Structure 1
Amino acid sequence: MKTFKLVYFLLAITFLLASCGKDEILDNVEQESEKPEELVSTRAGLKTIGSGVMMQAFYWDVPAGGTWWNVVKGKVSSWSNAGIDAIWLPPVSKAQNGPFSMGYDPFDYYDFGEYNQMGSTETRFGSRSELESLISRAHNNGLNVIADIVINHNSGGDLESNEFAGKDTYTLFNPMSNKFNRTKYDFHPNEAYNSDSGIFGGFPDLSHNKSYVQDWLWKRNNSVAKYYKNTMGFDGYRFDYVKGFAPWVAKEFRRSTGVFGVGEYWDGNVNTLKWWTDQAQMSAFDFGCYYKMRDAFMGNNLNALSGDMLWKRNASRAVTFVANHDTDEIINNKLLAYAYILTHEGYPAIFYRDYEDWLSKSKMNNLIWIHNNLAGGSTTNLWTDNDEYIARRNGGYGKNGLVVYINNSNSWKERWIQTNWSSRRIKDYTGNSNWEPVTQGGRWVKIQAPPKGYTVWSLK
């Protein structure tokens, strides 16, 4: 038995060395990082979530009038071709403000624009049939569709006498879908529980410890979680305001269907983010990374990028971003910030308005291509100072790796750096430099980056 194992080991080493001779494989494959655990795909024919880039397919106050689902539907093919693997939609169900609501004041979780309540039949974004058509088009283009889930609070209920609150409260919900009717017993305070982790905006706060609430949110066969996946066709959840309830709530909701999940824990403290992802057993938006990038690019001090970030703790559970519908503070040098998240570890999300309206789409597509085709393996920092930042992705899982050079100064910069490639010709895949140097035997090479710009180097 030991002899056979030795033979198999030698064969495996031989195969590995032979494979490393091919141009498309990096020289030192031993630096592969652990394969991200959050890569999931639950529906046949779709890209794997985390293999590409997420698109936040909305912004605050997108045009009302029921047109948005059709707008997004018209873009999913080009987004897929660009390398997007999932689209994140705003809350899709009927909310208190009906045709004007962005969905974060949920009333009827099962009204997707088909019941005449809260002042309209359609939601702000369109009808149920238009939503279903969008999801179908996305799936036909290999894209996953992520639903924004708001389960901390509700809005739009009728007034009822509430002895637990000591006053009348808007906690009587009788939605036209006749699913998940709610009363004062389902919100805080009630006969058993006074409160949970937090309330939002004074809205009625769902009591997640109540079995009835759990049944309707994730346990029943037609629960919100299962209905959204099995009937509507969603492939993952983005959990809104997860500070408002214990991590186990999001954990159980997601686990009931086994799909991708990411939480909005709005906190720059990386210890807190790491704690939440460990407890909830899913990804979180990397606010640690966001605030460090804000300090770096808005404060013109790239030393901030040396700070702690969730992706540095556990890249497989970090969703990195430069802007979203709630916060857009990185205004200066925003493309440099995208060059950072699209070359580093973590699952990058890009913001609709940045991609479609405000930044160069060709440059964004180039960075998406770089992320999907070159940015593999662990990360090694090579240089950081006030104006310059250089890091190496060490390659792995069929990707050669890269070296990214971000220059926040007003002049061209050059530096000698050590790559993972010995005596190999490299090029800048952004087109910002026309150098094509050959690395020395010791893997050292001089690279450059333009003022207020970036370059990304890999094997030619």
Structure 2
Amino acid sequence: MKNGVMMQYFEWNLPDDGKLWEQLKEDAEHLHDIGVTAVWIPPAYKGCGSSDVGYGVYDLYDLGEFDQKGTVRTKYGTREELEQAIDALHAHSISVYLDAVMNHKAGADRVETCMAQLVDPDNRDQPISEPYEIDCWTGFDFPGRGDTYSDFKWHWFHFSGTDYNERDKKTGIYQIVSEGKAWSIGVDGENGNYDYLMFSDIDLDHPEVVAELQRWGIWVVREFNLDGMRLDAVKHMHDRFLQKFLEAVRADAGDKFYAVGEYWVEDINTLEEYLANINYEMDLFDVALHYNLCAASKSGRDYDLSHLLDGTLVASHPTLAVTFVDNHDSQLGSSLESQVEDWFKPSAYALILLMEHGYPCLFYGDYYGVKGEPSPHRTVIDTLLEVRRRCAYGKQTDYFDYPSVVGFTRCGVDDKPGSGLAVLISNGDDAEKLMNVGETHAGETWREVTGNRDETIVIGDDGNGVFPVSAGKVAVWTPEV
């Protein structure tokens, strides 16, 4: 979709009140009006309790419908409320992407016995014990749901590792070794082999598991009329499994079914290698760009802005990059905390929302706020979204040529009257830059729309303009209407 915008519609600290689906339903019209074209919803299925954000997955088939783990609803509401929210979003031409968590399960119903060995957390290929018998929480019977939707029950042989031995009450990383089990290949090489992440690690090499997860994927997409998925923790999952999973889902849902993976690594070579390994079957979040934005925000005027896009996915694979400023994992207090400083967020959002390439993802916390506190960025984000809808068209010309002030222009297109823009980002002093917006704009008067500059600029006959920006700010210039 031209100028599409994804919104991550949750943050880590939402209240455990079951109201998010209801809120999302009521918000659908507003989201459409500001230019959001897709919503990434949180993991919508039953976790370890009503307060579970959704990543402690208990039952993928229970989306707030059955009395399990002490609750019928999830943290976000009931299945019926979810369906109503999806219907409202679709009625406003907004796609829905489900957060799919298939790496692990938690909250098992009973203990089972298997052979396992402790491994070094820093090198999961290195055993630190001999294999011995443990009692592990790997029996999933789903007594509240029974056989509704699926009669599949999970047992120890469907997992490759776990984190707790009930017999001696010890925690650790236990690799299950019965029946010749091993960690999956096709995962990230951090810690030797990064197959294991948390809870009970699903064995994505087991044929029964592969078949069941494919059945679930087809079922959940059909049942809820989903348009895509955000695939969680893909660096910990066998890449071949994910490729086959998407093939199965798309064989039923159609080739346009969207997928974006969370591969939380900032090294561009690793991301490029992963994309090749999965035959470019999904987009990836541009974690490298996020870390560049974070570093720029924390270093201030000491950061060389001319390198802001160096080593990023949007620079090397622009059609496969989902660009973002922050998300639930990077926000303060989260496991991957790397939050972009507030002073730089307007500049960061101007970059991802107004540049030609990348699929921008807006974070709920940056737009609505965190822990119930309103966001200071909503007004400027609204302005940038409006500029994206009205002006962000045409070829981009980059001016990433000076350490303390960089910019780019978009020349606009004929069938979008008033389109075209110029963006400057400063992390130092007041500055100005000669930039070209195209001869078609000759003689036009341009105005800065974020409120940081009061003057106007008249575009020369050659399409050039000298555009100013205030110290440590972003300036967004568009044709005066």
Which range, TM-score by smaller chain?
0.7 to 0.9
Relative to structure 2, which stretch is displaced further, 125-134 or 416-425?
A: 416-425
Match of 1:7 in 2: none
1:330 and 2:340 are equivalent in the alignment: yes
The offset of 1:431, in angstroms, is 4.7
1:234 and 2:226 are equivalent in the alignment: yes
Aligned partner of residue 60 in structure 1, secondary structure: coil
- Report the RMSD for the aligned CA atoms in angstroms: 2.2
Match of 2:286 in 1: 286
Aligned counterpart in structure 2 of residue 75 of structure 1, from 8, 22, 27? 27
The offset of 1:459, in angstroms, is 4.3
- Once the two structures are superposed, the pairs formed by residues 375-386 of structure 1 within 5 Å of their partners are 375-386=392-403
Question: What count of residue pairs does the alignment treat as equivalent?
Answer: 406
Equivalents in 2 of 1:384, 1:261: separation in Å?
35
Match of 2:405 in 1: 388
Equivalents in 1 of 2:415, 2:284: separation in Å?
26
- Once the two structures are superposed, the pairs formed by residues 405-416 of structure 1 within 5 Å of their partners are 405-411=424-430, 413-416=431-434
Match of 1:187 in 2: 159
Match of 1:447 in 2: 467
The offset of 1:200, in angstroms, is 4.5
Equivalents in 1 of 2:376, 2:91: separation in Å?
28
Equivalents in 2 of 1:71, 1:261: separation in Å?
25
1:129 and 2:80 are equivalent in the alignment: yes
The offset of 1:396, in angstroms, is 5.9
Equivalents in 2 of 1:371, 1:254: separation in Å?
31
Aligned partner of residue 87 in structure 1, secondary structure: strand
- Once the two structures are superposed, the pairs formed by residues 201-220 of structure 1 within 5 Å of their partners are 201-218=197-214
The offset of 1:66, in angstroms, is 1.5
Q: TM-score, normalised by structure 2?
A: 0.79
Q: TM-score, normalised by structure 1?
A: 0.82
Equivalents in 1 of 2:245, 2:197: separation in Å?
23
CA deviation profile, 1:428-460 (whole Å, cap 9, x unmatched)? 352534444333333322111223322223445
Paired AA for residue 239 in structure 1: L
1:370 and 2:381 are equivalent in the alignment: no
CA deviation profile, 1:116-157 (whole Å, cap 9, x unmatched)? 111211111111111111111111111111111111111112
- Once the two structures are superposed, the pairs formed by residues 25-424 of structure 1 within 5 Å of their partners are 48=1, 51-96=3-48, 98-157=49-108, 158-163=110-115, 166-175=133-142, 176-177=144-145, 178=147, 179=150, 180-188=152-160, 189=176, 191=179, 193-196=181-184, 197=187, 198-218=194-214, 223-255=215-247, 256-257=249-250, 258=255, 259-280=257-278, 281-300=281-300, 301=303, 302-328=305-331, 329-331=339-341, 332-344=343-355, 345-356=357-368, 357-395=374-412, 400-411=419-430, 413-421=431-439, 423-424=442-443
Aligned partner of residue 330 in structure 2, secondary structure: coil
The offset of 1:409, in angstroms, is 2.8
Unaligned runs of 5+ in 2: 118-132, 161-175, 188-193, 332-338, 369-373
CA deviation profile, 1:287-325 (whole Å, cap 9, x unmatched)? 111111112222112234142210011111111111111
Relative to structure 2, which stretch is displaced further, 196-205 or 440-449?
A: 196-205
Equivalents in 1 of 2:246, 2:455: separation in Å?
48
The offset of 1:58, in angstroms, is 0.4
Unaligned runs of 5+ in 1: 1-47
The offset of 1:394, in angstroms, is 4.9
CA 1:55–1:202: 2 relative to 1, 3 Å: closer
Relative to structure 2, which stretch is displaced further, 160-169 or 253-262?
A: 160-169
Match of 1:12 in 2: none
Match of 1:428 in 2: 447
Paired AA for residue 202 in structure 2: L
Q: Which runs of 4+ in 1 moved over 6 A?
A: none
The answer on whether the counterparts of 1:293 and 1:304 sit within 8 Å (CA) in structure 2 is no
CA deviation profile, 1:201-243 (whole Å, cap 9, x unmatched)? 541111112221121111xxxx221122111122110111111
Equivalents in 1 of 2:180, 2:232: separation in Å?
25
Match of 2:171 in 1: none
CA 1:407–1:164: 2 relative to 1, 3 Å: closer
Equivalents in 2 of 1:242, 1:426: separation in Å?
48
Structure showing the higher strand proportion among its residues: 2
The offset of 1:192, in angstroms, is 5.0
